[in-house]
Structure 1
Amino acid sequence: MAANLRTWHVLGWNGTDKIYEQNFRHYDFSDKQMKELLQRLLCRQMSEQEVANATMRRRKGEGPRVLDVQSNRTGDRFILSVGDTPHFTAVVIDVDV
């Protein structure tokens, strides 16, 4: 019987083009660290001015910024996502080892 390894499955997309895919052991990243990784991966795809604009202080009533990481729990799946085009996601999955 195969054992399962809890894993972060990270994907990056630019439109319909996959630009990044990597698995990491779940215990190597806290949720906060994974959010930071997703933000850093997105910043690599942005211009310096886009990064500065996305980092500026928000005005009252403004919606989320492109670097705001969204989290969603659907059943037993935990999903983090950041960006629009491009965007990155991290999903916790079990991988057979």
Structure 2
Amino acid sequence: MEKLNILEIEERLTHLVDWEYYDDALHTDFEFDNFKDCMSAMNRIAFECEALNHHPEWTNIYNTLQITLTTHDAGGVTDLDFQLATIINKIVEVEEIDEEE
């Protein structure tokens, strides 16, 4: 997997809501209503990470989830990071819809 250049990253970020690029990685954070909802999202994300064999750096403090994506083998952001970020956004959107019901 090849590292993307800054122009490719900036272009792809225009299609990816709530993510930023700095320190050779994609970054975001999500706030949930409570710890249970945050952990539920993390578990759903974990299954997708295993399927892609690509794993985030993340931290969870109560209802907040901070995620950093980078491909260490490539030394920066690759297509795989954008694939996972897109999946994560879809999972979190599902979580938000579930909470409203």
Normalising by structure 1, report the TM-score: 0.31
Structure showing the higher strand proportion among its residues: 1
Task: Name the structure where helix makes up a greater proportion of residues.
Answer: 2
Tell which structure's C-alpha radius of gyration is larger: 1
TM-score computed with the length of structure 2 as normaliser? 0.30
Higher normalized contact order (CA 8 Å, seq sep 6+, divided by chain length):
1
